[in-house]
Structure formats: C-alpha cells, structure tokens
C-alpha cells in the first residue's frame, strides 16, 4: 500500500560530450584513440581501473567525462590525470584535473597543478584560491594576500575573496581592513548572512566585543539563526562575556524544538558545569576554514555537491579537527551515493566530538542504503542501549524496519520509543506526533486498522494541522466509506498546506472519484500526474477517473502507462483486467475497490 522510493544512479551524458572535447590532438592520435574511447567508457564502469601501457588521451578524457557525469569524481580525477599526462599544456584539461584532485582531497596534487595553471594564466581564480589556501596553511599571510588580490571578484570568488581577505587582514591585526573587506559583501542581499556572521567572528577573534555582540545579534534576525554552528558560536561568545544565563536560554530554546541536537546539548552541558565555551577561532587559518565551511553549507543544499566537497576539503586542509566540515563532507558523499566513502568519513569523527553520535547514526543509514539491514539494526540497537534517554537510534531502527515492510518489528520499536518517552516522566509534546503517525502507518500496512486509526487520531491531537496525517487518515476513511464529510475536509486542508505535493493532490482527486464527482476527480488527478508523472498509482487513478468520465481511450492509455512505470505486482492483474474489459458499475463508497495507496507514508 505504501509507495516505493527508488534511488537511481544518474548516468553521464555519454558521447554527446565529444563535442566538448578540448584536447588538440593530431590526426594519428585521434585515429588510434577510437578503440580506446570505448574501452575507457567500459573501464569507467568497473571497480578496478587498469591503465594501458600506451594510454589513449581522448579515450581517457571521454571516460573521465562519463565518470564525472556519473558523479564518480574519484575515477574521473584518475582518468583526467592520464589524459593530462599525455597533453600537459592543455589548460582546460589542467583546470578540470586540478578541480577534481581538490574535490577528492588530493591537496598536494591540486597545489602542484595550481602552480602550473597560474604560470600560464595569472588570473585563474580557482588556482589562485588553492594557492592562497596553501599559503595560509603555511602561515604566509603576505603570499595569501597576493594571490587573493590577483583574482577577480566574479562567480564564487565574489563571496570567497572578501571573506578570505578579511581573515588574512584579521590575522595581520588589521581589524578595520578586515571589516572593510567584509563590507564588499553588502552589495548582494544573499551574502548578508556571511557578512554579519564573519563580522561577529572576526570581532570576537580580535577582541572587539561590542561589534561582535551587535553582529551576532544581527545573525539572529534571519534564517542563519537556525544554523547550529552559528548558534553554538553565539552562545560561546555570550558565555565568555558575562552572559552565561543568556547563553543557556539560547541553547534551551533550540533544544525545546530539537531535543536531540547533540552539538547544542553538549554546549549547554558545558555551561551548566560552570565552564565557558572555548573561542571558535584562534588563528587566521581557522577563520579561513570557517569561511570555507560557511560557503560549503550554503551550497550543499542546492545541488552543488562537487563544489560543497571542494570547500569542505579546503576547510579540513586548514583545520583537520573541524568536525562540522567532516560531517558535511560525509553528507555530500552520501548524497552522491558514495556510501562506503561516506562511512569512512563519518568514522573519522572522534568519540569525544559532539558530532560523534550523529555520525554513527549516519553510518547506520548508509549501511541501510547498501542493504546491510541486519548490521544496521544491530548497530542502532547497541547505540540505543548506550543512551536509554535518547530515542534517535531506536527511531532510526523503526524507520529502517518499516522500509523493509517488517511491520511487526516496526511496531515493537515504536512501542519501545513511546514507552521510553513516558517512562522518563516526559509529557507527550507536539513533536511526538511523528511517532504515532509512523506507528499508525505500520499498523495500517499490517492490516490492524483499529490500532492505526487510534495512532492517527493521537497524532492529530498533538499536531492538528499536520498535512501528512490529515491526508493519510482522510484517505483511509474515504476508502472505507466512513466519516466522508470530515475526511474530505481533512484532505482539502492538507492540499491547502501542500498544494504541490502530488500524493496529497492525488488523495483529493480520489476522494471526488469515490464520491462520484468524476469531472472534479479528473481535474485534481491530472494535476497530481503533472506533479508526480512517474508514479504508477496516480496514473492508475487517473485512468479510472477518465473511464468514469467517459474518456475511455485516455483511460486505457493511463492504465498502460501505470504498467510501464512499474506498478506493484499485486495490482497488475486488476489493471490488465481493466484494460481488457473496462470498469464495471460504480461501487458504493462503503466497499473497497482495491488495496491502492494515495497516502504516501
């Protein structure tokens, strides 16, 4: 009854990229490369890469492009390296190889390539950025300044150059020049959070508490206030400047909304013991690392995976103990489906770090992606025993089991979580709605409707406006032909809150279908298909609505499309029968038609 979410590995754009080939090869080399190009494409898909004794530059270039399109930058870097060795003066190839070496954390190679790049192109921004980072790493601020001044403030450098220059100036005890450098970010509204946050950090670093306080307070007015690291550093500043109680209040407010935030929780524990939090920045190099981390955080959520990896790598190059950067790097690797590498990065988070617990949760999640289910559950259950008062590990267990359709075990896990919450003397809070909603889904999927309905109603009691609960319960009632008026209103409210959610819009269309309002059903189901064109159930629903509305040719097309999209096997016979014979007379609302889901979950 639930929907299956498939993770599909993106493929590269293949030979279309030949037109972008930048290697100025002579004709004999091109002719000898024809077979090598195909061999390179095959090699890009293999676990082990064997470089032939006489490598084909074009073949390896094409293979690198395919590997990069597959988000496999490790192989891409190696293939680019082979192509570059055969054609060392090609600047475009040198740049791409340098960028990929940087993205993979191969800093020595990236720095060497950057030196070659600036020897030919003095204004090469990425090469200058790498060399500036290298100089900062060696505490050579004068050389770093020279590299930064020789870059134009365009593209990504319009953000990074002012921030890095500000920290170089701060390291040289030039506070006014540092603040002036950050003022260059004022011209673009999107850069305002970077300007205020780094003004606060630099002011704190250079012992200017008044401007630091003002800038930190400014960060709390925008979306940046929700960033854990910004709040942690603000609380630390307050604790070091005689405002320990204000810092505790700040941390308490964050934990009220997210009680499992281990970073803020550890910060609060430190303050409660009477200690102050250490300054976040003690050297210019650490400040530059923070600037790279800020940029990486900003871009990581906007499909900028490779760029976020680059900035995270630079942050870790300058500050290897920056666990927030290590976590972000691992998360980006995870988003690129490089699960083994992501787990290796998570394992580098030390046991004493406030990020260690979350890193272990993410390791379990990656094991789950690799279908190592029993290992995942064993790790999480061991963690749950370590922290009886922390429900995050058990909650992850429940969700892993639920995704595997192991519903009885899922229900038992949620029972244990709810029991822990109540046993610890806590009252059920608004945020606990999700426990009852997810347990309700498991009850419903295991055909225990009375228990499911009780869970959904409890979830609504805790969070009356939650669209997922409104949708799931309303749909279930409509499918059973009970509480029809209330169910329709619930789903309409869910749609008003999530008008672009194809599953919720599908539910509303199915409501009108069950009520016999077929024209209304078609309107909403067509919209749902627009929002979720690849969902077979929604396409099947639209086929049913078309048939009832007299649009029989379109109905059969939608049913065929549902089959082509991979509808659940138990529904295939019904759809084939509908294609052959159409739909019979409309059934009364109290009689279920089939075990089909528009509920999400």
The CATH number for 585's domain is: 1.25.40.10
Band (pLDDT 50/70/90 cuts) for residue 56 is: low
Q: Which tokens sit at 47?
A: 């676990």
The more confidently predicted of residues 45 and 60 is 60
Q: Which tokens sit at 67?
A: 């590997």
- Ordered alpha helix ranges (H), 353-501: 356-369, 373-386, 392-403, 407-423, 433-445, 449-462, 467-480, 484-497
Neighbour count for residue 231 (Cβ, 10 Å): 24
What range does the domain containing 522 cover?
Answer: 465-601
Reply yes or no on whether the pLDDT at 6 is more than 80: no
Neighbour count for residue 45 (Cβ, 10 Å): 12
Q: Residue 31: what pLDDT?
A: 23
Q: Residue 598: what pLDDT?
A: 46
Report d(CA 190, CA 163) in Å as an integer. 14
CB-CB contact of 512 with 524 (8 Å): yes
Reply yes or no on whether the pLDDT at 4 is more than 90: no
CB-CB contact of 194 with 159 (8 Å): yes
Q: At which of 433, 462, 491 does a domain end? A: 462
What average pLDDT is seen over the chain? 84
Band (pLDDT 50/70/90 cuts) for residue 498 is: very high
Q: At which of 429, 462, 495 does a domain end? A: 462
- Tokens 């305002």 correspond to 192
Band (pLDDT 50/70/90 cuts) for residue 225 is: low
278 within some domain = no
- Same-domain check for residues 440 and 475: no
CB-CB contact of 305 with 71 (8 Å): yes
Q: Residue 563: what pLDDT?
A: 95
Among the residue ranges 61-70, 110-119, 160-169, 589-598, the one predicted with the least confidence is 589-598
Specify the 3-state DSSP secondary structure of 108: helix
Burial of 242: CB neighbours in 10 Å, binned 0-12, 13-18, 19+: exposed
Number of domains in the chain: 2
- Same-domain check for residues 434 and 550: no
- Same-domain check for residues 410 and 469: no
Band (pLDDT 50/70/90 cuts) for residue 474 is: very high
Q: Which tokens sit at 378?
A: 């064993």
Average pLDDT over residues 154-173: 93
428 within some domain = yes
Using one digit for the tens of pLDDT, what is the confidence trace for 439-450? 999 999 999 999
Q: Residue 72: what pLDDT?
A: 60
Q: Residue 30: what pLDDT?
A: 26
Q: Which tokens sit at 586?
A: 């409309």
- Same-domain check for residues 493 and 528: yes
- Same-domain check for residues 379 and 407: yes
Report d(CA 244, CA 275) in Å as an integer. 9
CB-CB contact of 123 with 152 (8 Å): yes
Reply yes or no on whether the pLDDT at 485 is more than 90: no
The more confidently predicted of residues 12 and 367 is 367
Reply yes or no on whether the pLDDT at 16 is more than 50: no
Reply yes or no on whether the pLDDT at 2 is more than 80: no
Q: Residue 170: what pLDDT?
A: 97
Report which of 327, 309, 321 is spatially closest to residue 285, judged by C-alpha positions: 321
Average pLDDT over residues 371-395: 91
232 CA to centre of own chain: 22
Using one digit for the tens of pLDDT, what is the confidence trace for 506-550? 999 999 998 899 999 999 999 999 999 999 999 999 999 999 999
- Same-domain check for residues 470 and 432: no
Report d(CA 127, CA 132) in Å as an integer. 9
Using one digit for the tens of pLDDT, what is the confidence trace for 82-109? 666 666 777 888 888 898 889 989 999 9
115 within some domain = no
Neighbour count for residue 206 (Cβ, 10 Å): 18
Is this prediction's pTM over 0.85? no
- Same-domain check for residues 580 and 482: yes
Reply yes or no on whether the pLDDT at 332 is more than 70: yes
Q: Residue 3: what pLDDT?
A: 36
127 within some domain = no
251 within some domain = no
208 within some domain = no
Average pLDDT over residues 189-199: 93
Q: At which of 446, 462, 478 does a domain end? A: 462
- Same-domain check for residues 491 and 537: yes
Reply yes or no on whether the pLDDT at 10 is more than 90: no
- Same-domain check for residues 404 and 484: no
Specify the 3-state DSSP secondary structure of 353: coil
Report d(CA 337, CA 315) in Å as an integer. 22
Percentage above 70 pLDDT, the chain: 81
Band (pLDDT 50/70/90 cuts) for residue 484 is: confident
431 within some domain = yes
- Same-domain check for residues 489 and 599: yes
- Same-domain check for residues 446 and 481: no
Among the residue ranges 25-29, 129-133, 201-205, 332-336, the one predicted with the least confidence is 25-29
Band (pLDDT 50/70/90 cuts) for residue 68 is: low
518 within some domain = yes
The more confidently predicted of residues 600 and 321 is 321
Using one digit for the tens of pLDDT, what is the confidence trace for 232-242? 999 999 999 99
Identity of the highest mean pLDDT range in 123-127, 246-250, 389-393: 246-250
- Same-domain check for residues 569 and 439: no
């Amino acid at each position: 009854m639930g929907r299956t979410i498939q993770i599909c590995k993106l493929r590269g754009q293949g030979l279309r990229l030949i037109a972008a080939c930048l290697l100025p090869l002579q004709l004999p080399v091109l002719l000898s490369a024809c077979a090598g190009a195909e061999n390179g494409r095959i090699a890009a898909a293999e676990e082990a890469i064997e470089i032939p004794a006489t490598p084909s530059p074009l073949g390896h270039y094409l293979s690198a492009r395919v590997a990069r399109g597959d988000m496999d930058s490790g192989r891409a870097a190696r293939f680019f390296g082979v192509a570059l060795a055969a054609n060392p003066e090609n600047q475009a190839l040198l740049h791409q190889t340098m960028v990929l070496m940087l993205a993979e954390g191969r800093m020595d190679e990236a720095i060497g390539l950057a030196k070659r790049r600036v020897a030919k192109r003095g204004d090469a921004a990425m090469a200058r950025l790498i060399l500036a980072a290298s100089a900062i790493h060696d505490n050579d601020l004068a050389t770093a300044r020279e590299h930064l001044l020789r870059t134009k403030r365009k593209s990504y450098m319009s953000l990074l150059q002012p921030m890095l220059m500000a920290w170089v100036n701060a390291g040289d005890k030039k506070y006014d020049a540092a603040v002036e450098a950050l003022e260059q970010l004022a011209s673009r509204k999107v850069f305002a959070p970077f300007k205020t946050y780094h003004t606060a950090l630099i002011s704190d670093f250079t012992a200017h508490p008044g401007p630091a306080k003002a800038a930190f307070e400014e960060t709390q007015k925008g979306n940046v206030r929700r960033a854990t690291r910004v709040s942690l550093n603000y609380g630390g500043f307050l604790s070091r400047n005689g405002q320990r109680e204000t810092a505790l209040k700040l941390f308490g407010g964050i934990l009220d909304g997210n009680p499992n935030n281990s970073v803020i929780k550890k910060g609060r524990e430190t303050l409660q013991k009477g200690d102050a939090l250490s300054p976040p920045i003690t050297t210019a190099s650490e400040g530059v690392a923070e600037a790279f981390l800020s940029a990486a955080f900003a871009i990581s959520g906007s499909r900028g995976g490779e760029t976020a990896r680059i900035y995270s790598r630079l942050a870790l190059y300058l500050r290897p103990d920056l666990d927030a950067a290590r976590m972000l790097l691992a998360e980006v690797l995870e988003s690129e489906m490089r699960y083994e590498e992501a787990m290796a990065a998570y394992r580098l988070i030390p046991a004493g770090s406030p990020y260690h617990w979350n890193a272990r949760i993410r390791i379990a999640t990656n094991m789950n992606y690799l279908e190592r289910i029993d290992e995942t559950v064993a790790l999480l259950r061991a963690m749950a025993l370590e922290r009886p008062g922390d429900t995050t590990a058990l909650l992850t267990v429940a969700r892993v089991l639920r995704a595997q359709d192991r519903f009885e075990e899922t229900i038992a896990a949620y029972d244990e979580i709810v029991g822990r919450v109540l046993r610890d003397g806590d009252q059920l809070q608004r945020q606990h709605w999700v426990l009852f909603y997810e347990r309700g889904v498991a009850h419903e999927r295991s055909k225990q409707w009375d228990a499911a309905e009780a869970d959904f109603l409890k979830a609504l009691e805790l969070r009356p406006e939650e669209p997922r609960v409104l949708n799931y319960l309303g749909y279930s009632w409509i499918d059973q032909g009970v509480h029809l008026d209330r169910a329709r209103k619930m789903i309409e409210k869910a749609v008003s809150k999530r008008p672009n959610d194809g599953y919720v819009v599908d539910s509303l269309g199915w409501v009108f279908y069950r009520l016999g309002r077929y024209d209304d059903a078609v309107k909403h189901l067509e919209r749902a298909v627009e929002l979720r064109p690849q969902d077979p159930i929604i396409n099947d629903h639209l086929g049913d609505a078309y048939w009832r509305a007299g649009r029989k040719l379109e109905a059969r097309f939608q049913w065929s499309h549902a089959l082509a999209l991979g509808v659940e096997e138990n529904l295939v016979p019904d759809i084939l029968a509908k294609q052959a014979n159409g739909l019979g007379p409309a059934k009364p609302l109290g009689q279920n038609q089939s075990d089909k889901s528009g509920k999400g979950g």
